[in-house]
Amino acid sequence: MSSNLKNIYQYIQSDYCRYEVKANLSSILLTLLIPRNHCLRYLTWLRLSSQKNPFQLLAILMHKRYTVKYGIDIPRATSIGYGLYIGHGIGLVINPTAVIGNNCNLSQFTTIGSNHNQAAVIGNNVGNEVTIGAGAVVVKDIPDNATAVGVPAKVVSYSNPGRYINSKW
């Protein structure tokens, strides 16, 4: 197996771990062929399309297809760490300059846009142990170990942040 395929497989394993699914060849093939979890299917094609490998051309086509079908727009060039979890994936738009760390949860109708051609940098565990409430509009840095909500987002607590990050990679 080429080093790129091994690297891609490790990213896929980390994503499957977040969904509490064991990533072996049969589970990956089932995810790609049988509609079980559309978010995990999308992530698998995204990971396969993001680096040079023998399946990349097919993966690029499938990634484009599922971007339209599922309303999830995460460009292949986006820097994404291990263990991405998409819950209720629909209406997701991520700028290709975004940097997403390990163990990040993205939910429906999330947009990570850019100011001055550079999108947000999201640390590990959704920020560094940060929880962002539903509907929040984050326009400035959120401190580590905080929970922020509102428009614009304001820190409301430093108690138990990152509590929704299950099955960390």
Q: Count structural domains, the chain.
A: 1
> Is residue 84 included in any domain, yes or no?
yes
Question: Helix 25-33 to helix 3-18 angle, to the nearest 10 degrees?
Answer: 70
> Is residue 152 included in any domain, yes or no?
yes
| pLDDT tens, the chain, 169 aa long | 578 999 999 999 999 999 999 999 899 999 998 878 999 999 999 999 999 999 999 999 999 999 999 999 999 999 999 999 998 889 999 999 999 999 999 989 999 998 888 998 888 887 778 888 888 898 888 998 899 999 999 999 888 776 667 777 7
> Is residue 101 included in any domain, yes or no?
yes
Q: Is the pTM of this model over 0.75?
A: yes
**Shortest CA distance to 121 belongs to which of 144, 141, 147?**
141
CATH code of residue 21? 2.160.10.10
What strand order describes the sheet that includes 99-100? 79-80, 99-100, 121-122
Structural tokens at position 13: 């394993």
The range of the structural domain enclosing residue 113 comes to: 3-157
> Is residue 162 included in any domain, yes or no?
no
> Is residue 166 included in any domain, yes or no?
no
